[in-house]
A = this chain, B = another copy of it.
């Protein structure tokens, strides 16, 4: 019973069916009929005109977004625990060609305007220091917290005031939306977000993520960068088809809700052990080495996460019986 990561889950039936549907001769790259429908489908979802590009990984989505928002001689403010800082092997630096990440603090990998403003205040206005050009936040965060539309908007206002591009790493955007009950629009462009990495792979997709530009003009150079990075798949229709299938009838929300529900069940069982509130599909527990060993001996797999803590992630398809068993095991520790 594995609770390592939603990355490891299977693809959902709708995504698999989409592959079969796309499995016929069509124009290569993004000239096919599925890819052609992406802009419209995501524009409808977001209630505004967007440009939507498929890419194969969240890292590529993030790095392409950041390259669109920050020049090589600029910097990007993000949380010290951000995925773009710690888990992408320098992809932002590669795609931006040497921009710096400036690391801000905040509990649960969450930033607020004060922390960002304090960091910005350390930068002198001369050519000796790299100038901030963008802010990147993760929603839900790397610690499973969500930014509310109001919290995003507060950061968006800061970005507007300081002329920073605003990127949201939404590897678990679906989980955030499902948790908040808000619209995708409220959580993004209405709150000032310029570019969103909209994750599908952790949420039941197979190999497609969506990179959404709320300022469509940002997409033009990105199309070149995507090709240049080897991310313009020649049979891109299989990616587009997955995305469309998961937008259709809100499969993405259904999957995210299932994962969030499982996490909530575990959170209830965990009680005082919770390191942070559970707002999406990840839970962080206080767990002694002995307790961790005991859980593992009972067949539950998960990551240690710092000393005395563990991370468990629930997927769209985590078996409810496994979750119940885990909940019981945690209760009985």
Contact = CB atoms under 8 A, between A and B. Distances in A.
A231 B128 contact: no
Contact of A230 (B23, B59, B227, B234): B59
A289 B257 CA distance: 57
Given A56-B231, A207-B233, A238-B207, A93 B98 contact: yes
Contact of A7 (B29, B59, B64, B87): B29
Interface in A64-98: 64, 71-73, 75, 86-91, 93-98
A267 interface: no
A227 B91 contact: yes
Contact of A130 (B57, B90, B202): B90
The 3 closest A-B pairs by CB, nearest first: A60-B230, A93-B98, A7-B28
Interface of A: 2, 4-5, 7-11, 16, 19-20, 23-29, 55-64, 71-73, 75, 86-91, 93-101, 127-131, 201-202, 206-207, 221, 223-235, 238-239, 315, 317
Given A97-B97, A201-B233, 11 more contacts: A72-B228, A88-B228, A90-B98, A93-B98, A93-B100, A94-B98, A97-B98, A100-B101, A201-B234, A206-B235, A207-B233
